[in-house]
Structure 1
Amino acid sequence: MTLQPRPMIYGANGFTGRLIAREAVRRGLTPILAGRSREAVEPLARELGLEARVFGLDTPAEVARKLEGVSLVLHGAGPFSRTHPPMLRGCLETGTHYLDITGEHAVLEGLHWRGPEARRAGIVAVSGVGFDVVPTDGVAAHLAHALPTATRLRLAFRGGTVSRGTAITMAEGAGEGGLSRQGGLLVREPVAARTWRVEHDGVTFMAVSIPWGDVASAYYSTGIPTVETYLAVPPAAAFVMRGSGLAAPLLRRPAVRRLLRERAGRAKGPSETEMREGRTVVWGEVTDPAGRTRAAKLLGPEAYRFTVEAALASMVRVLAGGVPAGAWTPSQAFGRDFVTTLPGVALLGGFETDGGAPTPR
């Protein structure tokens, strides 16, 4: 008897991986749980009645062997700049669909250029199927459709508490500075090089520019040549972040980076109450050379809850077929209305949706 191929959640021992695994089982799915820590993966698999596979990503042959009988990998083990290449290579070798939940711009940029390999291998490859970057990518795609002549896109978001894995990824990038896309080119700049005032529920936030995955994903989703990404914070935090560029040389020192990783490893992530009650906000605005603008705001659940919903919905869509082989952004793979199909998500703005196509009012 031939066993049916099954999806795998790699990094199931991490904070986000555990959330996704538990919700998958609650919905009747039976993924294989995998990761490099036997002490963490196997007890969770036993609790949920699932198969466990323990392996690292250091040996390509081992990765390929452990992907035997796997139809799709949902990759949730960061920092993705290190873990993404070997996992994607394994998926290309074995014809296994690849999804991940990264927001790292280098990973999103690199995946785009591997589209021809994915097509030859007959696999779907999509990075950023969590809060990074499904909501921002959806907002970008809707705004680009509402104003096809747009040449500048601004995106800002406000999230919540970070987990250990996210904190470590942030620590890895400490000292690298900011990043935006200007005229189609990626440009290094200080963090908080520019600011943008955004509002929600009568409260004004100062959004400061940060390097975010959409400098890659939104560019390829929309073709808009200038893409700037922001984090909405209280004014006092914006002041501190604008001064952080002075510390960049210090943050690049190995000893300081080791200290940051150690501190990041203590992060625990949001509580159940925070995940249940928390909300996220995404702001978007496009402008064209004539000065015309369109703006939108997306309201959604807490960031980790958002990631669980988006990742599982992405998994189900790929497994159901209909997504062509290749490397895609979320909105390219699943359509610009994908984000609005997720529970608790509302998209508001200067356009209305009609059959998936926003039209200016």
Structure 2
Amino acid sequence: MNTNNVTSKNWMIYGATGYSGQLIVERAVKAGMKPVVAGRSDEKVKALAEQYGLDHRVFNIEMLDNSDALLSGMHLVLNCAGPFSQTAEVVMQACLKQQAHYIDITGEIDVFEMAASLNEAAKVRGVVLCPGVGFDVIPTDCVAAKLKALMPDATHLSLGFDSRSGFSPGTAKTSVEALPQGGKVRVDGKIVAVPLAAKTRKIDFGGGEKLAMTIPWGDVSTAYHNTQIPNIEVYIPGSPAMVKQLKRMNWFKPILGLGLVQKLLKKRIEKKVKGPDEATRAQLTTFVWGEVKNAAGDVKDYRIEVANGYEITADGSVMVAQALLNDYADASGYQTPSMLLGDDLIEKIPGTQSAS
């Protein structure tokens, strides 16, 4: 990561006290940057600001609708407060009003689609909207772009990853929220709802062939805007038992969406789910795979091995922030990470190597 590309422009990390937020603050400071840290907990935000000698602001997301001062003077806002279905649109609209670039670390399809729908408004305001500047979706977004270059006439794109990073509390809560919605794939250019684990196949992600199943990953949205390939699926490994369990859950999706059930599941997550420590993260890597097909039946694939998801999120988000505050300050509109910074972005993040 470039630690010399330091800017004097003000920028903010909202949700800075969460697991991923704290990693990003640490990485930004290490890169010589001085973000304003922000969040809703006065005690936690102040403690984090004092730890790194940073300015801070304390507010709830809902306050942005009524106060321009909260983002005053910011050239960029990095939103780390999930679930992003509840925070992204409010922060994006505030950024458009304040003419500040917006980035976040979401993997939620609906958030990507909402950002894409604001493309023209963002261009008019001279603002970049680039959600998904972490593990969701930098590696897979770059692989999609690489494959499009390898096969410009591709009609089908499959992406996937084999990760052992586990979930942070925020990511686990987002996954719980998504369960009632089932799976998502893209068919003939349209996002289509499908059952959980709707399709399975054997895939060699880079560490040997494994049974894999479809998941509603962000690339169902972003890879289409990036490549214009009309048919897109995303896979992760899953044991036969896990696939069967998810298929059974399709019968209970309406129940999983009930407020009480969601509340109970999220409380359980708060008690039991903790992000991995530094030593554990250092031992974890991820294989990322992609495959394209064209109408003639030709097939090409591509694989890389990358660092664990948390390291990619920390390094990737800081790298994109640096670019938007410096070299890409005049960019505008909706962007995916590789649309903004090129399909070699993942190669610039520590820990990336070929898995082919």
Q: Is the shorter-chain TM-score for this pair beyond 0.5, marking a shared fold?
A: yes
Change (3 A) 1:88 1:200: closer
Matched residues in 2 for 1:209 and 1:336: separation? 24
AA at the equivalent of 1:344: G
Match for residue 321 of structure 2 among 315, 340, 350: 315
* 1:199-348 equivalences in 2 (<5 Å): 199-200=204-205, 203-266=208-271, 267-322=273-328, 324-348=331-355
- What SS does structure 1 have at the residue aligned with 2:196? coil
Q: For 1:309-330, what per-residue CA distance to the aligned partner results, in whole angstroms no more than 9, with x for missing partners?
A: 1111111111113362111111
The structure showing larger relative contact order (alpha-carbon pairs under 8 Å, at least 6 residues apart) is: 2
Root mean square deviation, CA, Å: 1.6
Contact 1:75 1:99 in 2 (8 A): yes
CA contact (8 A) 1:80 1:107 kept: yes
Could you tell me how far apart the structure 1 residues matched to 2:66 and 2:17 are?
Answer: 19
| Alignment correspondent of 2:46 | 42
Contact 2:287 2:355 (C-alpha < 8 Å) held by counterparts: no
Q: Is the 8 A contact 1:63 1:87 kept in 2?
A: no
Contact 2:183-2:193 within 8 A present in 1 as well: yes
User: What is the one-letter code of the residue matched to 1:112?
Assistant: A
Residue identity opposite 1:187 in structure 2: V
Number of equivalenced pairs: 347
| 2:158–2:291 CA contact under 8 A, matched in 1 | yes
Structure 2: gaps spanning 5 or more residues: 1-6
Partners of 2:150 and 2:300 within 8 A in 1: yes
Residues 63 and 90, structure 1, Cα contact 8 Å, conserved in 2: no
Deviation >6 Å, runs of 4+? none
Q: How far did 1:201 drift?
A: 5.8
Look up the match of 2:59.
Answer: 55
Sequence identity (%): 38
C-alpha deviation, 1:185, in angstroms: 0.8
CA distance in structure 2 between the aligned counterparts of 1:200 and 1:338, rounded to whole angstroms: 20
Work out the CA distance in 2 between the residues paired with 1:251 and 1:244.
Answer: 9
Contact 1:91–1:98 at 8 Å: present in 2 too? Answer: yes
- Return the alpha-carbon distance in structure 2 between the equivalents of residues 14 and 281 of structure 1: 26
Aligned positions of 1:120-139 closer than 5 A: 120-139=124-143
CA distance in 2, matches of 1:256, 1:312: 36
Displacement of 1:28 in angstroms is 1.2
Task: Look up the SS of the partner of 1:231 in the other structure.
Answer: strand
Q: Secondary structure at the match of 2:264?
A: helix
Unaligned residue ranges in structure 1 (runs of 5+): 350-361
**1:249 CA displacement:** 2.5
Give the residue type in structure 1 aligned to 2:352.
V
Counterpart check, 1:33 vs 2:43: no
Comparing 325-334 and 62-71, the one that deviates more:
62-71
What is the Cα deviation at residue 233 of structure 1? 2.5
What's the offset of the Cα at 1:255? 1.8
User: How far apart are the structure 2 equivalents of 1:318 and 1:63?
Assistant: 24
Quote the residue 1:179 is aligned against: 184
How big is the shift at 1:62? 4.8
What CA deviation, in whole Å up to 9, does each residue of 1:45-95 have, x standing for no partner?
001100110011113355521111111111110111110011011101111
Aligned to 1:110: 114
In 2, Cα distance between the equivalents of 1:216 and 1:61? 27
Deviation, structure 1 residue 200: 4.8
- The TM-score with structure 2 as length reference comes to 0.94
Is residue 35–residue 56 contact of structure 1 (8 Å, CA) maintained in 2? yes
CA–CA separation in structure 1 for the residues paired with 2:20 and 2:79:
11
Give yes or no for contact 2:206–2:305 (8 Å, CA) kept in 1: no
* 3-state DSSP of counterpart to 1:58: helix
Asked if structure 2 preserves the Cα contact closer than 8 Å seen for 1:284 and 1:296, the reply is yes
| Helix, strand or coil at the partner of 1:59 | helix
3-state SS in 2 of match to 1:243 = helix
Q: Which residue number corresponds to residue 3 of structure 2?
A: none
TM-score, normalised via structure 1 length? 0.92
Residues 86 and 101 from structure 1, CA distance in 2 versus in 1: closer, same or farther, beyond 3 angstroms? same
- Offset at residue 126 of structure 1 (A): 0.3
Post-superposition CA distance 1:243-279 (Å, at most 9, x none) = 3212212212222112112112232111222211111
Equivalent residue for 1:358? none
Q: Which residue of 2 aligns with 1:195?
A: 200
Letter in 1 for 2:229: I
Please tell me the residue identity of whatever aligns with 1:196. Answer: R
| Equivalent position amino acid for 2:226 in 1 | S
Partners of 2:154 and 2:355 in 1: CA distance: 19
Deviation of 1:151 after TM superposition, in Å, equals: 0.4
Q: Verify the 8 A CA contact 1:175 1:251 in the aligned structure 2.
A: yes
Report the CA distance shift for 1:202/1:300 in structure 2 as closer, same or farther (over 3 A).
Answer: closer
Does the 8 Å CA contact 2:162/2:205 hold for their aligned counterparts? no
